[in-house]
Amino acid sequence: MKQLVRMFLLVFIVSFALMYVVSLLNSTQGYSGKNTLTIYNWGDYIDPDLIKQFEKESGIKVIYQTFDSNEAMMTKIAQGGTTFDVAIPSEYAISKMKEENLLLPLDHTKLPNLKYINPRFMDLSFDKKNTYSIPYFWGTVGIVYNPDMLHGKKPTSWNDLWDESLRNQILLVDGAREVIGMGLNSLHYSLNDTDEAHLQEAKRKLSTLTPNVKAIVGDEIKMLLANEEAAVGVVWSGDASEIMKENEKLDYVVPEEGSNLWFDNMVIPKTAKNLEGAHQFINFMLNPEHAAQNAEYVGYSTPNEKALEYLPEEIAGDERFYPDPEVTKKLEVYENLGKRMLSHYNELFLEFKMHKK
Amino acid sequence: MKRNGKLSNIYLFIVFIILYAPIFYLMYYSFNSGGSMHDFEGFTLEWYKEVFHDTRLLIIVLNTFVIALLSAAISTILGVLGALAIMYVRRRQVKNTLLTLNNVLIVSPDVIIGASFLILFTIIGIKLGFASVLLSHIAFSVPIVVIMVLPKLQEMSPTLIDAARDLGASRWDVLSKVILPFITPGIFAGFFMALTYSLDDFAVTFFVTGNGFSTLSVEIYSRARQGISLSVNALSTLLFLFTIVLVIGYYFINQKGSRSKGMGVRK
Amino acid sequence: MDNKTRNIYLIPYVLWIVLFVIAPVLLVLYYSFFNVEGQFTFENYEKFFTPVYLKMTVSSFWYAFLITAFSLLIAYPTAYLLTRTKHKQLWLLLIILPSWINLLLKAYAFLGIFGTYGPANALLEVFGIGTQQILFTDFSFVFVSVYIFIPFMILPIFNSLEELNPSFIDAARDLGASAWTTFRRVVFPLTLDGVKSGCQAVFIPALSLFMITRLIAGNRVITLGTAIEQHFLVTQDWGMGSTIAVFLIIAMAIIMILTGNRK
C-alpha cells in the first residue's frame, strides 16, 4: 500500500513539474502572445527560414501545425474546435470544402503579388476566379524508374508497366484516384471517367498488373525507391524530385497517354481569426523571391512565373518538372466526382489490393 | 538439467535480441552523417545537437510525458475501482456485460475511437488540446488496467476478505491492508500497460488534439512525410537510454528499500 | 450495507463506461445507418455481405489467428523462463520497454532491416541461402505483428505463472509425473486464465490492425481495420466504416463470451 501511494505521488509530482517546465518553455517561445497566425500545412512543406523572415517583417508570431492527409485536415476544420488562419489543401479538397462552406473568400485587393502567378494556373475548374484559393505548388503524376535496374529500358507510357520484365518491380502510391486513374489512362479514358463499363474494364486491366506490383505504399515509397528496393514507382512529381535528390541515378517521366495535374493551394478556412495576417502571409508567399526560395527548399514546381527567374536554370529549365504546355495539355485535373463515385473508386481500389498474385 | 539451463538462456537471449533489434538499428543510424537510415557514411553528433536546439520538439516530448504519466496514473485508479466493481458484482450476466463493455475500446480501431471521441468532445463542448487528449488517453487506458488487475482479484480467496471482516477490519482497512497489497503486481502491470498505450498512441491523439498541442507520435507521423529525419532517431535514442536508466535505477532502489524492511512489502 | 460498498466502486467505473464506451458505440451504431449521401438506409449492411467484405473478414480472422498462435507459442516459454531468472521483475520491464519507442519508427527500422540490402538479407547471404524478398510478404507481416503484440501476451502469462504455487509442481513430480505431464496436467491448466487474457489482448486488436498492413505488408494484406481507416479518413464514408466497426464489436463480444469464465 505504502509503495503504491509513494509511486502515485511521485508520478503526480513529476507530471506537474514537467507541466511547469513546458509553460516556461512556451513563454520563451512567445506562443502565449496575442498577435499570432496559425498555419495548417503538410509536414515540412515550407522553408522554415521564410516563416522566421515573415515573423520578423510583420511582427506576427507564426504557429505551424501539420496534417498528413486532406481528409484529416477537413475533419479538423469542420469540427471547428481550433484556430487555423491559413491552410494548404489539394484541389479536390477545395471543391469539397467549398460545398461544406469551410472556406472564406479571399480579398484580392490585399494580394497585390497575385499578378505573378502564371495565368495558366488561374481560374481553374475547382475554383473559378480563384475566389477561395491561390495555387501554392503544382505537379503531375508519373513514373520514377531506375535505368540501372531496367538494363537500359525506359518506360514512357503507362502501358510499359505491364511489361513482363517488370515482375515484382513496381511500387504504387496508396491512392485510389491515382491507381484507378492509371488504369483508365492506360486505356485512353479520362481520369474523371464515371462510366461503369470503363471502370470495370480498368479494374480488369489493373488486376493483370498484380504480378508486377511489389507493394502499394504511402510516403515510405520515397525511401524505398531511393534505396533501390524496386525499379519502378508511380508517384507524384513532388515526391519524384525528392527521390531523385536522394538517388541521382533515378529518372522521372510523365506517361504519354496523359496523367493527372494537381495543385496544392493556400486558403483561409472559416476557423480563421487573424484575417489581416492571413492575407499578409499569402501575399508574402506570392512574392517571387520568397516563392523561388520556397520552391528550392521543398523541391516542388512553383506556379509563380516571375519566381522562375530567381531559380537556377537546372531547376526552372527541367522539362520533367516544368513540362511545356504541349505536355500539360494532356494532363487532367481531378474533378469532384461526388462522394458516391469516390466511394466506388475506393471500393475498386480495395478489390485491386485484395487481388492475389 | 544444466544443459536445459543453457538452452533456456539462449532462448531468452534470442527473444531479447529480436525485441531490441529495431531499436538498436534506430540508434545506430542516429550517428550517421549520411542523413538516412541506409548506408552508414560516417560518425556524427549533429542530429543530437539538432534535437537540443529544437525547442518545439522538446516541448512536445515533455507534453508526451505529462500526458502519459497523468493518464496512466488516473486510469490505473479508475481501472482498479472498475475491477473491484466487477469482482463485487454477483450476477454473472451483469459481470459479463460489464466485461464486454470494458473491452469495446480495446477492440475498436483507433480511428473509430478517435473519431467518436472527437464528436463527443464537440457535443460536450471541451476545447481541443491538453484536456481532450488527456481525457481520451485515460478513457482508452482504463480497460487494459481492468484486464490486468481482474485476474489478480479473482485469485484472491473470498475467505480472506471475510476473515478480515470477521476480525473487525473496516471497509477501508480491508481495501488498504488486504486487497491492495495482494493485487499490487497487477496494479503495476496495469500502470505500465497504460503508459505503453499512451506513449504508443497516434490515431486517437491525432483526432482529438488541437490548438497547437501535440504529442511525439503525432509529430513523428507528420514529419514522416519527408522521410524520417535522423534527429527523430537521435531523440528516440536519448529517450530510450533515459528510460532504461530510470527503470533499472527504480528497480534497484526499490529492491534495496524492500530488503531493508525485510518481508514487510513483498514485490 | 454490503450493497452500498459495491455501489461506491461502481460509480466512477460505470460513469466511464457510459461516457466513453456506450456513447461512442451508440454513435457508431447511429452512423452505420447512413449512406455516403447522409440518407437513412440499410445499404451499408447489404454491402458488408458482398464478397469483397466477406473475403476481407475471413482474411482478417485468419491473420489474427496466426498472429495470436505465434505470439502464444513464443510468449509462453519466454514468460516461463522469465519466472526462473534472478531479477525477474526487471527482465519483465525490459520486455515491455521496447514498446515505448514509437511504432512508426520501429516499422521504419523493420523496413530497413528486412530490405533487399538490409541486415536480415545479409545474414541469409552468410548462411548461403541468398537474398530473399522478406519485405511485403505474409512472413514479414506476421513477424512484425507478433513483435508488436508479444508484450501483451507475455505479461498476463507471467503473472499467472507467478501465482502458481510451486508446491503443486513439487507434488506432481514427487508423485512420479514426468516434466511434460506436470506441465500439461498441472502448470498449463493453472495458468489458463493468463493464457486466455493474453489471447484476448492479442487476437482482438489484431483483427483491426492497420498501418502495419501498408508499411510492412505493402497492402498485400487487407484487414477490417484497414478498411475502416480508409472509410473514415479517405472516402469519408463514415457510414460504411461504422458498419464494419459494428461487426467488429459484435465479433469481440462473441469472443469474450466464448472465452469468458465458465465458473
The ipTM, to two decimals, is 0.86
In a domain, A162, yes or no: yes
Question: How far apart (Å, rounded) are the C-alpha atoms in residues B207 and B199?
Answer: 16
Q: Do A214 and C218 touch (CB under 8 A)?
A: yes
In this structure, the answer to whether residues A229 and A343 fall within a common structural domain is yes
If one counts the domains in chain A, the total is 2
Facing A216 at nearest CB: one of C108, C218, C231? C218
In this structure, the answer to whether residues A209 and A344 fall within a common structural domain is yes
User: Which residues of A fall within a CB distance of 8 Å from C240?
Assistant: 343
In this structure, the answer to whether residues A119 and A152 fall within a common structural domain is no
Q: Do C204 and B200 touch (CB under 8 A)?
A: no
Q: Do A1 and B176 touch (CB under 8 A)?
A: yes
User: Which residues of C fall within a CB distance of 8 Å from A347?
Assistant: 52
- The answer on pLDDT for B259 being more than 70 is no
In a domain, B105, yes or no: yes
pLDDT number for residue B116: 84
- The nearest CA of chain C is from the CA of A321 a distance in Å of 27
pLDDT number for residue B4: 65
Cβ neighbours for B9, distance < 8 A, ≥ 6 positions apart: none
- The nearest CA of chain C is from the CA of B100 a distance in Å of 6
Is C130 strand, coil or helix? coil
Look at residues C44, C48, C49, C67 and name the one whose alpha carbon lies nearest to residue C221: C67
Model confidence at B1, pLDDT cuts 50, 70, 90, reads very low
Domain of C94, in residue numbers = 51-259
Phi, psi (deg, nearest 5) at residue A137:
-140, 160
Model confidence at B261, pLDDT cuts 50, 70, 90, reads very low
pLDDT number for residue A30: 59
Across the A:B interface, residue pairs with CB atoms under 8 Å apart total 107
Q: Do C105 and B25 touch (CB under 8 A)?
A: no
- The answer on pLDDT for B267 being more than 70 is no
In a domain, C161, yes or no: yes
In a domain, B13, yes or no: no
- Please state, rounded to an integer, the average pLDDT across all residues of chain A: 90
Nearest CA in chain A to B175: A1
pLDDT number for residue A186: 95
Facing C136 at nearest CB: one of A74, A214, A351? A214
In this structure, the answer to whether residues A43 and A117 fall within a common structural domain is yes
In this structure, the answer to whether residues A26 and A171 fall within a common structural domain is no
In a domain, A2, yes or no: no
Nearest CA in chain C to B199: C100
Residue of C230, C232, C243, C244 to mutate, interface with A, max A Cβ within 10 Å: C230
Nearest CA in chain A to B76: A8
Question: How far apart (Å, rounded) are the C-alpha atoms in residues A165 and A211?
Answer: 11
Q: Rounded to the nearest 5 degrees, what angle is found at the Cα of B32, between the Cα atoms of B28 and B36?
A: 100
- The nearest CA of chain B is from the CA of A208 a distance in Å of 30
Question: How far apart (Å, rounded) are the C-alpha atoms in residues A35 and A59?
Answer: 8
Facing B181 at nearest CB: one of A1, A79, A223? A1
In a domain, C17, yes or no: no
If one counts the domains in chain B, the total is 1
In a domain, B183, yes or no: yes
pLDDT number for residue A2: 76
Subunits with 3+ Cβ pairs within 8 Å of B are A, C
- The nearest CA of chain B is from the CA of C39 a distance in Å of 19
In this structure, the answer to whether residues A241 and A164 fall within a common structural domain is yes
Facing C222 at nearest CB: one of A71, A339, A353? A353
In a domain, C46, yes or no: no
In this structure, the answer to whether residues A190 and A223 fall within a common structural domain is yes
- The nearest CA of chain B is from the CA of A251 a distance in Å of 19
In this structure, the answer to whether residues A210 and A127 fall within a common structural domain is no
Domain of B121, in residue numbers = 56-231
The single-letter code of the amino acid at C117 is: Y
Ranges of H-type helices in chain B = 2-29, 46-53, 55-88, 92-107, 110-124, 130-155, 158-166, 171-173, 180-200, 203-208, 216-223, 230-260
If one counts the domains in chain C, the total is 1
Whether C238 contacts chain B with CB within 8 A: yes
The b/e string for A154-185 (b: 16+ C-beta within 10 A; e otherwise) is ebebbbbbbeeebeebbbbbbbbbbbbbbbbb
In a domain, A28, yes or no: yes
Chain C (107-166) residues lying within 8 Å, Cβ to Cβ, of chain B: 108-110, 112-113, 115, 117, 119, 147, 150-152, 155-156, 159-160, 162-163
Exposed / middle / buried, residue A139 (Cβ in 10 Å: 0-12, 13-18, 19+): buried
Pairing assessment for the beta strands A103-104 and A86-87 based on DSSP bridges: unpaired
The CATH number linked to B219 is 1.10.3720.10
- Within 10 A of A1 (CB to CB), how many other CB atoms are there? 14
Query: Is the Cβ–Cβ distance between C166 and C249 less than 8 Å?
Result: no
Chain B (140-159) residues lying within 8 Å, Cβ to Cβ, of chain C: 140, 142, 144, 147-148, 151-152, 154-155
pLDDT number for residue B256: 66
- The answer on pLDDT for A119 being more than 80 is yes
Cβ neighbours for B203, distance < 8 A, ≥ 6 positions apart: B109, B110, B111, B113, B114
In a domain, C16, yes or no: no
Cell of C12: 466512477
Nearest CA in chain A to C48: A347
Q: Do B12 and C205 touch (CB under 8 A)?
A: no
Cβ neighbours for A175, distance < 8 A, ≥ 6 positions apart: none
User: Which residues of C fall within a CB distance of 8 Å from B267?
Assistant: 89
Convert the pLDDT of each residue in A16-42 to its tens digit. Answer: 888 888 888 877 765 555 688 999 998
Whether B122 contacts chain C with CB within 8 A: no
In this structure, the answer to whether residues A197 and A335 fall within a common structural domain is yes
Facing C52 at nearest CB: one of A220, A223, A351? A351
pLDDT number for residue C117: 87
DSSP code of A333? P
Nearest CA in chain B to A26: B59
Annotation-wise, does A92 bind a ligand?
A: yes
Chain B (170-229) residues lying within 8 Å, Cβ to Cβ, of chain C: 171, 185-186, 189, 192-193, 195-196, 199-200, 202, 216-217, 220-221, 224, 228
Nearest CA in chain B to A221: B227
Q: Do A43 and B223 touch (CB under 8 A)?
A: yes
pLDDT number for residue A357: 64
Query: What percentage of chain A exceeds 90 in pLDDT?
Result: 57
- The answer on pLDDT for B2 being more than 50 is no
Facing C233 at nearest CB: one of A71, A223, A229? A71
- The nearest CA of chain A is from the CA of C129 a distance in Å of 19
Residue of C44, C236, C244 to mutate, interface with A, max A Cβ within 10 Å: C236
In this structure, the answer to whether residues A247 and A270 fall within a common structural domain is no
CA A342 distance to own-chain centroid:
18
Convert the pLDDT of each residue in A55-98 to its tens digit. Answer: 999 989 888 887 877 877 887 888 777 789 999 999 988 988 99
Facing B109 at nearest CB: one of C99, C210, C257? C210
pLDDT number for residue B251: 79
Q: Do B177 and A1 touch (CB under 8 A)?
A: yes
* Per-residue pLDDT tens listing for chain C (263 residues): 444 455 677 888 889 999 888 998 898 899 899 988 888 999 999 999 999 899 999 999 999 999 999 999 999 999 999 998 888 888 988 898 888 888 888 888 998 899 888 889 989 989 888 888 888 999 999 999 999 999 989 988 998 898 787 788 888 888 888 888 888 888 888 888 889 888 988 888 888 787 888 889 988 888 888 888 888 777 778 889 889 989 988 887 788 777 765 43
In this structure, the answer to whether residues A154 and A210 fall within a common structural domain is yes
Exposed / middle / buried, residue C5 (Cβ in 10 Å: 0-12, 13-18, 19+): middle
Is A65 strand, coil or helix? strand
User: Which residues of B fall within a CB distance of 8 Å from A42?
Assistant: 222, 225
Lowest-confidence region among A229-238, B130-139, B188-197: B188-197
Convert the pLDDT of each residue in A213-270 to its tens digit. Answer: 999 998 889 889 988 999 999 999 988 998 998 889 999 999 999 999 999 999 999 9
Q: Do C230 and A347 touch (CB under 8 A)?
A: no
Whether B178 contacts chain A with CB within 8 A: no
The CATH number linked to C212 is 1.10.3720.10
In this structure, the answer to whether residues A41 and A130 fall within a common structural domain is yes
Q: Rounded to the nearest 5 degrees, what angle is found at the Cα of A259, between the Cα atoms of A255 and A262?
A: 130
Is C216 strand, coil or helix? coil
The CATH number linked to A48 is 3.40.190.10
Whether C172 contacts chain B with CB within 8 A: no
Facing A11 at nearest CB: one of B56, B69, B212? B69
Domain of A80, in residue numbers = 11-137+263-323
Q: Do A343 and C116 touch (CB under 8 A)?
A: no
